[in-house]
Structure 1
């Protein structure tokens, strides 16, 4: 008995979807993000072949798979050739092009890459550069991305520019995910389940109502709930720490004024001054 045509199409399509998945995995993650010319053409062609073979019941199914395999092998070979030869890499993947230098647009380079000024301005805005004269250097990469270096005076001020020492920032750890405690996240920030239970109790929320719970670099716990109508109290640990530092500094000043002992007075004043400097440096991190 002959197989119904609709069933043949379903079987062919199922096999080809799986084959496309395997071929895409073989081509690598780059096929999904930054496509070269070869990979772009290959992706379109393999998809077209798969569509034709899945419904072309009068054609040889195996021949279609062979064709897909050959097309998948082309970018693999091109990638190997690119690694071996700089000239081949430049031809296959393209080269970066300078489009702005010292605040001046290189019109000829922009034209060669078939970009308009409007498209360039769009790419600049995506990099938070709204004025061409603010740009020291802009390069159109081979994958179409625009890399922008702002002029020194237009770059954001960093703690290094102000000679400020800042503590290294730790990656926030997820400690609750979909109502379940993540022990690996707790261990990553040196905390225990008992501490987490206390935080949940302090904020008045139940574990099963927490969609995502995280601990930041300062050890503060924040939660995103399933029930968004519940208003959670904002973390106050940093504000309390700042208040404690200011109180300690004020106490040292009071001790210096109240004692008649010369050495003690000097010690209190010395440490009060150091603590005042610490308060000034940490205010923007603990309050703002």
Structure 2
């Protein structure tokens, strides 16, 4: 076999082996690498390169080395799962960089992190003032997570005593101009409903690059023609406005009638509708 052809065959073989062994190691090898996983990734890549380029008769030893490295890595991962002491020894411990708005200078020196680098990490979290930080922690993978002081955290609906609708995963129901039936079934929706929603916006399935349905059952679309403005659905805002008008009419009837029984009935109905509107507000009010 010519040498150039042998290199091609070995390279393809090395890529296939490396692919399956990396799949065996799991997703962490391609996302958040620990210190040991970083070393393992570099070594496995180097061994794979040796297999594809070394044209002597001992290239099969590279396969053995590759299998040993992967087996050893799996053993280390299993040990880390079973023992916290092993995790702390093999990987780095989390370190507190800021506590109660005060920078831990000793920790910064230990982690070899400069003040500029710390401020840069804070800015990535949209934090520009150290005094606003309750805790800043460097995780074992080097990422910095930040917790703001309570008074500096943004208000949530829970803080204001407002009930909001539960969120579900948004489903893509149209992709590349084609309807996806499985997401529609997940949402208990049909093709006829989807086509009806598209007709309201003057669209066809073929015009849509991506169509998504949120947890409230509202369809939003992205078109192939980016310059075309898609009209936003107005059903929910109109429903909210109609119910609000009904509530105001009931209150007006209560004030205008002299019949005490009717006044009481209109007043109670207005109060119940007002309470219902407060509960429905997160679902149907316009954004």
TM-score category by the smaller chain?
A: over 0.9
Instruction: Report if aligned partners of 1:53, 1:59 keep a CA contact under 8 Å in 2.
Output: no
Q: Separation in 2 of the partners of 1:255 and 1:186?
A: 44
Q: What residue is the counterpart of 1:267 in the other structure?
A: 265
Q: What residue is the counterpart of 1:205 in the other structure?
A: 203
Instruction: Say which SS state the counterpart of residue 145 (structure 2) adopts.
Output: strand
Higher relative contact order (CA 8 A, sep 6+): 2
Unaligned 5+ runs, structure 2: none
Q: Separation in 2 of the partners of 1:85 and 1:219?
A: 46
TM-score normalised by length of structure 1: 0.92
Residues 84 and 284 of structure 1, relative CA distance in 2, 3 Å threshold: closer
Unaligned 5+ runs, structure 1: none
Instruction: Report if aligned partners of 2:35, 2:90 keep a CA contact under 8 Å in 1.
Output: yes
- Of 19, 37, 40 in structure 1, the residue corresponding to residue 38 of structure 2 is 40
2:31 pairs with 1:13: no
- Of 216, 240, 252 in structure 1, the residue corresponding to residue 238 of structure 2 is 240
- Of 153, 159, 169 in structure 2, the residue corresponding to residue 171 of structure 1 is 169
Deviations 1:240-281 (A, max 9, x none): 122112211122123224433212212212332443455567
Q: What residue is the counterpart of 1:4 in the other structure?
A: 2
Instruction: Report if aligned partners of 1:100, 1:136 keep a CA contact under 8 Å in 2.
Output: yes
Q: Separation in 2 of the partners of 1:27 and 1:217?
A: 35
2:158 pairs with 1:160: yes
Q: What residue is the counterpart of 2:228 in the other structure?
A: 230
More deviation in 16-25 or 170-179? 170-179
Instruction: Say which SS state the counterpart of residue 225 (structure 2) adopts.
Output: coil
Q: Separation in 1 of the partners of 2:57 and 2:137?
A: 48
Deviations 1:52-107 (A, max 9, x none): 22121125121111111222222212112223333221110121111111000101
Deviations 1:212-264 (A, max 9, x none): 11122222211111222322111212221221122111221232244332122
Instruction: Say which SS state the counterpart of residue 44 (structure 2) adopts.
Output: helix
Q: Separation in 2 of the partners of 1:81 and 1:190?
A: 45
Q: What residue is the counterpart of 2:53 in the other structure?
A: 55
Q: What residue is the counterpart of 2:285 in the other structure?
A: 286
Deviations 1:142-201 (A, max 9, x none): 111222111110111112211222221222222222222222222222322221121111
- Of 184, 191, 194 in structure 2, the residue corresponding to residue 193 of structure 1 is 191
Deviation of the 1:32 alpha carbon: 0.6
Residues 279 and 154 of structure 1, relative CA distance in 2, 3 Å threshold: same
Q: Separation in 2 of the partners of 1:202 and 1:247?
A: 25
- Of 133, 149, 152 in structure 2, the residue corresponding to residue 151 of structure 1 is 149
RMSD: 2.0
Q: Separation in 1 of the partners of 2:107 and 2:117?
A: 14
TM-score normalised by length of structure 2: 0.92
